[in-house]
Amino acid sequence: MLTGTGTGVGKTVVTAAVAALALSVRRSVAVLKPAQTGLAPGAPGDVDEVNRLAGDDVTTWELARFPDPLAPATAARRADVMPVTPAQAAAAAVELSRGHDLVLVEGAGGLLVRMDDHGGTLADVAWSAGAPVLIVAHAGLGTLNEAALTSEALQRRGIECAGVVVGAWPAEPDLAARCNLDDLPIVANAPLVGALPANAARLTRPKFLEMARRSLAPSLGGEFDANGFAAEHAA
């Protein structure tokens, strides 16, 4: 499962990169989006972006869509429709796992954003499905606190953290971003397993796959070396 330290940190692009690497070694891949918010019916959503970047061979499933750009529980309530519960999302993930080598579940916003009015969150989905969680963080100032809080929430619930990925590494990183390469693994108590360039979503599929291989660690199917990357950008 992939969660962000907030909105707009690059979860969808990271999801597509992990999917692209899995496809490249002939693994079957499914991507589940339990709740898509902020889009009208028919508009391309996050799962469509995954297909565009990683390939049409990725099976995608969007369980629900709500037009307001809000937390899923709030957006569902405003649309006067039933929300997606963690149990429903976990069941869908398990169903997909029966026919795929890898299932990726992309959350909406952060780990504890409410999915329903009973307080259900993506953390509950991960716990129910027994899935590790990959944290996607932004590069700059403020990310350490957000990553630490996300990691602590996972630890308190007994959920494995698969690592931290910087979702959009800037072309000209500032001092905070460069220092964060060393500090993120410490505060998150999890390895840095990738850093995708900020322009990754603009790449063609072949170039996107090359980027994914460079930018994600071997645990995710790539060749990224966190120590080498941090040394290259040492403050």
Q: Is 33 a catalytic residue?
A: yes
Residue 144: is its pLDDT beyond 80? yes
DSSP 3-state helix, strand, coil percentages of the chain (rounded to 5)? 45, 20, 35
Residues 6+ apart with CB under 8 A from 101: 22, 27, 28, 29
The structure tokens listed for 225 are 């070396």
Domain ranges of the chain: 2-221
Mean pLDDT of the chain, nearest integer = 96
- Closest by alpha carbon to 123, among 83, 150, 103, 104? 150
Q: What is the pLDDT of residues 24-78, one digit of tens each?
A: 999 999 999 999 999 988 899 999 999 999 999 999 999 999 999 999 999 999 9
Say if residues 102 and 114 touch (Cβ distance below 8 Å).
no
Long-range contacts of 172-177 (CB under 8 A, 24+ apart): 173/139, 173/233, 174/140, 175/235, 176/140, 176/141, 177/139, 177/140, 177/233
Do the strands 2-4 and 65-66 form a parallel or antiparallel pair, or are they unpaired?
unpaired
Give pLDDT, residue 156: 96
- The model carries a pTM of 0.95
The structure tokens listed for 111 are 């780990």
Catalytic residue among 9, 21, 33, 165: 33
From residue 44, alpha-carbon distances to 36, 51, 121, 167, 195 in Å are: 10, 11, 24, 21, 25
Residue 235: is its pLDDT beyond 90? no
Lowest mean pLDDT, pick from 52-56, 98-102, 107-111: 107-111
Q: How many CB atoms lie within 10 A of CB 27?
A: 13
- Closest by alpha carbon to 31, among 7, 43, 49, 44? 49
The structure tokens listed for 68 are 């307001």
pLDDT-based confidence at residue 180 (cuts at 50, 70, 90):
very high
Residues 6+ apart with CB under 8 A from 165: 10, 14, 134, 135, 136, 137, 192, 193, 194, 195, 196, 216
Could you tell me which CATH class the domain 2-221 is placed in? Answer: alpha beta
